[in-house]
Amino acid sequence: MAGVFSKSAWLKVWTYRGTFLHGLLTTVETAVLAILLAMILGIIFGLFATGKVRILKAIARVYVEFIQNTPVLLQICFLYYILAFSGHSIGIIPAGIISLGIYHGAYMAEVIRAGIEAVPKGQFEAAQSQGFGYIGQMYYIILPQSIKIILPPMVNQVVNLIKNTSCLYIIGGTDLISMTYSFVTGAKTGGAYGPAYLVSGVLFFVICFPLSKLGSTWEARLKQRDKRTGVAAGGDGKGADAA
């Protein structure tokens, strides 16, 4: 077994760098498609949860609670193997995309629900008084105001989804972690555990850290802007009272 500081191990990793790049590309492709699915489901069930139709609110609640309270690893295995043994296998990557999309869609739905409910009720009443229907209210009035609340935690969910692509290893995917495992256990490439997993971790970090930093910076700027707006409003109120 080669250590982290083994020159031969690092040389082996460099020689077969295409393995890691292939895994990284698969991880990115899987993550992008899963993010799109998660956002679609998040919007749908987020709107269900904040709507007035009780059956839709109940469906959204059941979806969110069930998905959030079962492991994503279990969901991936269930979807992949239940389809495989029923003779309707869709492949490892599609199964991973669907599983991750459904899992993180539940969290996206909660983010969107919280963002919509944070908008003052007066905005809904004002939209209704202007003759907007439910879709019009959401599209023109409510969602634009909730964006600043929704985006930071949504970015965090994107980061979590990217990291959770590593769970595809359990069903033998071609994602970064799976390809790393294949590398360290291969007949010609086996043994370079330290360098291989270190490189894999660095690649994940390179993708996730900028996104994570973007989310925290975005949230801090929004809070500062809201604070400045509040101070300005307070200053106007004092000036009005003095006048």
Structure token digits, residue 65: 């609670």
Longest dimension (CA), the chain: 84
CA distance 128 to 105: 29
Q: What is the pLDDT of residue 45?
A: 95
Is 70 exceeded by the pLDDT of residue 185? yes
Q: What is the pLDDT of residue 119?
A: 78
Q: What is the pLDDT of residue 4?
A: 66
Residue found by looking up tokens 């910076």 in the block: 217
> Which one, of 17, 48, 32, lies nearest residue 162 by Cα?
32
Residue found by looking up tokens 């709507």 in the block: 51
Q: What is the mean pLDDT of residues 62-88?
A: 90
CA distance 35 to 101: 6
* pLDDT above 90 as % of the chain: 40
Q: What is the pLDDT of residue 190?
A: 74
Structure confidence at residue 129 as a pLDDT band (50, 70, 90):
confident
What does the mean pLDDT of the chain come to? 83
For residues 3 and 9, is the Cβ–Cβ distance under 8 A?
yes
Dihedral sign of CA atoms 66, 69, 72, 77 in order: negative
Is 60 exceeded by the pLDDT of residue 123? yes
Structure token digits, residue 39: 């956002």
Interval 100-113: pLDDT, tens: 999 999 999 999 99
Q: What is the mean pLDDT of residues 151-155?
A: 86
CA distance 242 to 159: 50
E strand map for the chain: none
Is 80 exceeded by the pLDDT of residue 35? yes
| pTM recorded for the entire structure | 0.82
Structure confidence at residue 59 as a pLDDT band (50, 70, 90):
very high
CA distance 199 to 9: 12
Q: What is the pLDDT of residue 118?
A: 81
CA distance 132 to 125: 10
Report the SS3 class of residue 2: coil
